[in-house]
Structure 1
Amino acid sequence: MKRMVEEDPQCVNARDGAGYRALQWAALNNRVAAATLLLDSGSEVDAGDNEGQTAMHWACVRGALPCAELLLRRGANLNAADSRGYVPLHVAAQYGHTGMIYHFKMRWNVDVDVTDLDGRTALHWASYKGFPDPVKLLICMDADIYRADKEGCTPLHWSAMKGKSEATHLLVQAGGSSVLTAVDVDGNTPEALATDKGHHSLAYFLHNQHKQLSTRDHFWTQKGMAVACLSLILGLMLGFTHYVMFASGVATMDVSLAFWSLVVLGSSSAGLYYMRRVSNADPGFVTAAALSSLRRGTRPSSAANDVDDRLNHSELWAGNWNQLCVSCKLVKPFGTKHCSMRDKCVARFDHYCPWMGNTIGKRNHRDFVVFLILESFAMVVAFAVAVVRYGEESPGEKYRNNTGILMFAAFDALTLLPVIMLTISQLVQVAQNVTTNELSNAHRYSYLKSSDGAFVNPFDRGSHLANIRAFFFPSKNAPLIDDIAAGLTTVTVDRTV
């Protein structure tokens, strides 16, 4: 090739029979050495083919990032549009090259909302093709999720029309009710287009999401089962008082039983106090502002100076797009998960508890476990007292009625069984310093896997006792983001090309 260039210097800009140039072929196949030779020999970096596509467009077809970076350093125009208005970013989105999109934004601060001749952005194309990672990244880059093209279609219209479920889920999570009710020029919502194209399961999902989002913030949706839980506990306390402590026809309690009965009522009352704390607490909501002091990763020397620091993160430079949250638009620390019911990311997310009407996370997990312990203890003691009372002799045996005691004992036992199982499960997890979410979804989290794929818990402090002590007796100024979780993502980033 070098000899050919020396013999005919003009060949570097010559077209083949189809109108393509040598630099385009080098870019398509990521031939950095060949592209360097062509550019050094006078090849025009922004020269287009018959459709106006440049070497940069071709590099984006196969995600040839090293060659694309070479072209950019040699002055390639990232905003060069072909005959259909496609810029390189559109092509990268059309072919699902998430890393290239990230590179263009972080190194060259590309405009993610630039449109083609039909008014479509990179997010439209990623949604149309159904690539979840580009969709996720573009949303977190603040791409306009509500922007309509010339047909009035938003990105959600296109993903619903093509039956792309993953992209649809992400767009709904990020856009909420507004994106679900958007209509195109013909008055069609995304749900209507999904139905029209035969994607009935996707249309059903969109319909249900619209219903759920419209009632998600209502009091009874958030706290309805918490009210039921409160009523259940109060009902057990009243039943214990009426049917066991002051049972009709049964002898007056002795001092010992009276003491344990008061313990039952005291433990139940303390449990209600902790229930209130759990229900009303901030479970550990994570925001971009809260993460600003926990910057991880090193800004590459050639990164654009005015890019969003939220995205300048080692996990993203490493291509771990699963750490992105499209609702909160942040990079989730390890152990953090987005709660769909509260629509916020929660540090050390354990689960959403409808009986508490709140998410269980870093800030209220201890109170939740204490609540379980207190109520389990109260129900065990109450059952024991009921059994003793049932067997007591009564001076007025013919007036004795044990039905109330039996009913209370049966109801107490039925309630106790699931509660004590949950309590034991939570205590085992506390001893291991692992959450319910991590145990249930360990296969999704790379930080819970060793090099050979076996489960490993990086949050384990070395012993059950150390884990229990740290859980029940945290330091007064304990950070929102677990120190171990912060340490997991501390790496040195070297992204020079």
Structure 2
Amino acid sequence: MASSEIEVVSSEPKTQKNPAEMPVLDVFSASAYGDFQKLRKFVEQDGASLSKPDVHGYYALHWAALNNFPDIAHYIIQHGGDVSATDNVQQTALHWAAVQGAILAADVLLQNGARVEAADVHDYRAVHVAAQYGQTSFLNHIVAIYHADFDAPDNEGRSPLHWAAYKGFADTVRLLLFRDACQGRQDKEGCTPLHWAALRGNMEACTVLVYAGSKKELMVKDNTGFTPVQIASDKGHQRVALFLANQQRAHRKCWRDKFCIGKMADIGYAPVLLCIIVFQTVLFMNSVLAAPNLTKVTAAVGLWGWAAISLAVGSLIMFYRCSSKDPGYIKRAGDFSNPINTEIIRPVRSKHCPTCNRCVEQFDHHCPWISNCVGKRNKRDFFIFICLGTLTSLLSTAVAVQRIWSALPGLQTEETWIRRVVVQYPSIVAFLFVDIIILIAATTLTKAQATQIARNITTNELANANRYGYLRGPDGRFQNPYNHGCRKIVLIF
């Protein structure tokens, strides 16, 4: 990275003096101060033009847009003002509106033909200017309503996310990440948004970028060979450097990066669990119920055996449901169909899952065994799945033990019985070994989930209770505001 920081070309026009200090003498000052009556006098009585700039190259429409006077902006457009007129750096009135986050004025401009992708001499668009000044609501508005390109690069290859990270506007960073802005984009100097956040020592922006990203950005080097942690250290931002170094160290130690099985971790273990369930079911039918070297199946044993198989089939159905079902993903940018709702409302109990790279409502945990998150929409399916798994393992274990016990009656010692079982029925022993492991795991998970459901709290909230203010009472102690009693919660669930 070059030793110099980003050269910020000011997008903010020079504001005029306070109206009390300077009288309104022309259409420009009238537009800047919102004096509609004098503006009309200058235009309709004195014949002043609204299509010509002042001595600095600024137009009346620019001043009205900057100070968010939509009625004046509309009047200027109706009386000859050009929405595409540019100042001496080719910035339009929309650029000026972005500086102050003037949403109402921007609506007037865009509804009267202004181009949302108009660029100045530095290829800054309105999205860049909004990111430079932390105008998050304005940025979201023009993206949601007018489909502005929130990931467009400027002349130096920097996107709005680069600028928001550099300026330290964490809320703007969150918005852009929510809308899937490219976090790994490198500008002409090879710098990602994380490089620029580290350069300025913006701790909150660095934290948001690291936790929302894939951690690969920690290892990216710019054109001079510097990683974000090296830049932060070089600039003396020790707190940021320590945080990034710890994250980088954890990333390097991650077993996913050291072993081939890491690829499997990205896919998840759902295929493995599916094979285990199917294999155990087939083994149970062939080696426990239908084995020729065992005694004939009685009516009672057959009933319990087929009950176990039915539960296994039910487990497979619920496994498919909870692994394929939407766990409660919060809608992405492209899913906004209502143009009136321009604000992003993120539910309190939602969390961004780094594995799925999506925000999940009432996030419980990411389960690699179903290759999916467990959230608001599939938590019931997940709980039913593990309950069925527990019952299936319990019944099949009981049936298998009964079948062996009835096949080897009257043995003198426990040692002799075990030796005979291992020698004569190795397939049943293999089945029991795997089944008991599943039984222990499923029972533990079922108990934990049942307890949390009864308290109306998620796994994520239990693990990170100290991070969530809504889980602390006035005295600072843990307090769950969603716990309304076991009976009521179970009925709702």
Match of 1:322 in 2: 344
Correspondence for 2:140 among 136, 146, 158: 136
Q: How far has the Cα of 1:241 moved from its partner?
A: 8.6
Q: What residue identity is the alignment partner of 2:193?
A: P
Any conservation in 2 of the 1:380–1:416 contact (CA below 8 Å)? no
Which deviates more from structure 2 when the two are superposed, residues 374-383 or residues 400-409?
Answer: 400-409
**How many aligned positions are there?**
394
- How many Å apart are 1:360 and its aligned residue? 6.9
Query: 2:185 pairs with 181, 187, 198, which one?
Result: 181
Cα distance in 1, alignment partners of residues 455 and 203 from structure 2: 43
Equivalent residue number for residue 369 of structure 2: 355
Of 119, 123, 127, which residue of structure 1 is paired with 2:127? Answer: 123
Please state how far the C-alpha of 1:223 moved relative to its aligned partner.
3.1
The amino acid of 2:141's aligned partner reads L
Q: Alignment partner for residue 374 of structure 1, among 388, 391, 399?
A: 388
Matches for 1:337-356 after TM superposition, within 5 Å:
354-356=368-370
Question: 1:224: which partner in 2?
Answer: 268
Q: 1:149 matched to which residue of 2?
A: 154
Give the structure-2-normalised TM-score: 0.58
Superimposed CA distance per residue, residues 284-329 of structure 1 (whole angstroms, 9 cap, x where no aligned partner): 99999x98xxxxxxxxxxxxxxxxxx7772324xxxx2169xxxxx
Q: Pairwise CA RMSD of aligned residues?
A: 5.8
Are 1:164 and 2:169 matched, yes or no? yes
Distance in 1 between residues matched to 2:149 and 2:316, nearest whole Å: 45
Letter in 1 for 2:339: H
1:276 aligns with 2:320: yes
**SS in structure 2 at match of 1:322:** coil
Provide the C-alpha distance between the structure 2 equivalents of 1:368 and 1:200, rounded to a whole number of angstroms.
37
Q: Given that residues 24 and 30 in structure 2 are in contact (C-alpha distance below 8 angstroms), is that contact kept between their aligned partners in structure 1?
A: no
1:396 matched to 2:411: yes
Counterparts of 1:345 and 1:194 in 2: how far apart (Å)?
23
Contact 2:265 2:368 in 1 (8 A): no
Q: Percent identity?
A: 23
**Structure 2 Cα separation of the partners of residues 36 and 346 of structure 1:** 53
Of residues 370-379 and 385-394 in structure 1, the stretch that sits farther from structure 2 once superposed is 385-394
**Bigger mean CA deviation after superposition, 51-60 or 108-117:** 51-60
- Distance in 1 (alpha carbons) for counterparts of 2:397 and 2:455: 24
CA spacing shift, 1:409–1:220, aligned 2, 3 Å: closer
CA deviations 1:74-126 (Å, max 9, x no partner) are 34322222233332211121112344434533x22421111223321111111
1:154 positional shift: 2.8
1:62 aligns with 2:76: no
Q: Which moved more, 1:150-159 or 1:368-377?
A: 368-377
| Equivalent pair of 1:346/1:361 in contact (CA under 8 Å) | yes
Q: C-alpha separation between the residues in 2 aligned to 1:88 and 1:132?
A: 18
The verdict on how the C-alpha distance between 1:412 and 1:111 changes in structure 2, with shifts beyond 3 A counting, is: same
Whole-Å separation in 2 of the counterparts to 1:175 and 1:255: 59
Distance 1:129 1:47 in 2: 28
Question: Is the 2:166–2:196 Cα contact (8 Å) retained in structure 1?
Answer: yes
Moved more, 114-123 or 138-147: 138-147
Pairing partner for 2:309 from 252, 265, 271: 265
Q: Aligned pair in 2 of structure 1 residues 276, 46: CA closer, same or farther (>3 Å)?
A: same
1:416 and 2:443 aligned: yes
Residues 376 and 420 of structure 1 are in contact (CA less than 8 Å); yes or no, is this contact kept in structure 2? no
Aligned CA distance change for structure 1 residues 221 and 414 (closer, same or farther; 3 Å): closer
Q: Is the 8 A contact 1:113 1:121 kept in 2?
A: yes
- Which deviates further from its counterpart, 380-389 or 368-377? 380-389
Equivalences for residues 197-276 of structure 1 within 5 A: 197-199=200-202, 202-203=205-206, 206=209, 209-211=213-215, 220-230=264-274, 233=277, 255-276=299-320
Structure 1 residue ranges without an equivalent (≥5) = 1-14, 292-309, 325-335, 430-434, 445-454, 457-463, 469-497
Q: 1:73 matched to which residue of 2?
A: 78
Residue 131 of structure 1 and its aligned partner are, at CA, apart by 2.6
Q: Report the Cα distance in structure 1 between the residues aligned to 2:403 and 2:38, rounded to whole angstroms.
A: 92
Query: Shift of the alpha carbon at 1:267?
Result: 0.9
1:10-56: CA deviations, max 9, x gaps?
A: xxxxx999797454444444454554555443443345444333333
The whole-number CA distance in structure 1 between the counterparts of 2:163 and 2:450 is 46
Aligned to 1:12: none
2:193 aligned residue (183, 190, 195): 190
1:226 to 1:29, Cα distance in 2 relative to 1, 3 A: farther
Aligned partner of 2:93 in structure 1 is 88
